[in-house]
Amino acid sequence: MTEHRSPRLVDVARRAGVSTATASRALNPTTRGVRDANRVRVLAAAEELGYTTNLAAQTVARGRTRGITLLLKAMPDDYANPMVAGVVNEAHREGLPISLVVAGSSTTDLARAVDTARGQRSQIVMTMGGRFVDDRSTPALVTALRRYEADGGRVVLITQPGLPFDTVAYANREGARELARELVARGYEHFAVLAGYANGLTQRDRTEGFLEGLAEAGIELSADRVVTGEFSRDAAYAAAGDLVRRGIRLDAIFAVNDAMALGALSLLRDAGPRGQGVAVAGFDDIKALRDVTPGLTTVHLPWDDVAAEAIRLALTERPVEPRVSVVHGHVVVRESTPDRRMLPMVGGASD
């Protein structure tokens, strides 16, 4: 009676016509490349034979499990969800297991979560989300991430540039500047900005980029038209209400993320005649906008491209100097910002 045994790596290599080392690299992405033709043959052979990677053996051999640990501050919200979905989908396409670790709301919490993730021994750790100006806990996060890399792991950040790790960043300033130019070209002149946290790097870049775009057209905003506060829908609803109550002349509101823009849209709807004729634009192009009426003008960010770039960096050899890859968005014009040049008379809050 012939004893049945599970296929081994050497069987896959023999079937594919490659060395055992090449088969191992093709099945278990490392810093060493494998030619596409060889990778395709190895994957086909593994499927034909029913071979599955021995994750336990990998952990013993490399000291790491294959996959990604994704770290987040607090629970995903309207801003984080597209990023999380993009990374999860791209990890699945690459055949990489992924686990999610949710920290608290501060950078200190995130640093502690990095130390926790070290115990999971995953190949890659990613963090995402904005940072704050002069955050005193940032050095602790950098120290924790450096320990992770010293242990043999790879670190990739999806955030603003500035930390000593491979980073995928958004062209926040450029996107907001392009949006300002578009709104001016559509006939808008009297603006307000819902700027979010005064010390948030993402919010700052988007606010400053928008103001730069207005300045190119000779439009300068007074300080009372740039409203700071929480980075949330409810805070934007309240801030937009304050703008309307003050009765300032206003024909367009820019909110530095889509969740805040939706809060402004809701307030203008609830304000009745006082809110009519005021356009609203946001930033991010979250998927929830598909169900919003009127459609929100925004800056679209290619979430899947961001995720693919982050994983590409993670699967290549760590360079001597950290790399920064900047992903650019583009303006998407929808019904929330009708072309004022095509309208006979448009109202809006007035002096």
Q: What sections of 52-157 are H helices per DSSP? A: 55-62, 80-93, 107-118, 138-150
CA distance 50 to 41: 14
pLDDT score for 343: 65
Domain residues of the chain, as ranges?
9-53, 63-171+303-328, 172-301+332-342
pLDDT score for 290: 85
**How do 298-300 and 330-332 pair as beta strands?**
antiparallel
Mean pLDDT, the chain, as a whole number?
85
Write out the two tokens for 27: 């099945």
pLDDT score for 59: 45
CB of 322 within 8 A of CB of 166? yes
169 backbone dihedrals φ, ψ, rounded to 5°: -125, 160
User: If you count DSSP H runs as helices and E runs as strands, how many of each does the chain have, helices first?
Assistant: 12, 12
When pLDDT is averaged across residues 306-330 and rounded to a whole number, the result is 91
**Which CATH number is associated with domain 63-171+303-328?**
3.40.50.2300
Residue 157, C-beta contacts closer than 8 angstroms, at least 6 positions apart: 126, 127, 128, 163, 165, 166, 167, 168
- Tell me: pLDDT of 206 over 50: yes
101 backbone dihedrals φ, ψ, rounded to 5°: -120, 120
**How do 324-327 and 154-158 pair as beta strands?**
unpaired
pLDDT score for 129: 78
The domain made up of 172-301+332-342 has a fold known as: Rossmann fold (3.40.50)
When pLDDT is averaged across residues 278-285 and rounded to a whole number, the result is 96
CA distance 283 to 316: 31
- Tell me: pLDDT of 346 over 50: no
Residue 289, C-beta contacts closer than 8 angstroms, at least 6 positions apart: 258, 295, 296, 298
- Tell me: pLDDT of 127 over 90: no
The amino acid sitting at 87 is: V
When pLDDT is averaged across residues 253-273 and rounded to a whole number, the result is 94
Helical packing angle, 172-185 and 201-216, nearest 10°: 40
- Tell me: pLDDT of 5 over 80: no
Q: Place 115 in a pLDDT band, splitting at 50, 70 and 90.
A: confident
pTM for this predicted structure: 0.76
At 226-251, the pLDDT tens digits run 999 888 899 999 999 999 998 889 99
| Fold match flag (63-171+303-328 vs 172-301+332-342) | yes
Q: Place 347 in a pLDDT band, splitting at 50, 70 and 90.
A: very low
26-30, 35-39, 80-84, 185-189 — which one is most confidently predicted on average? 185-189
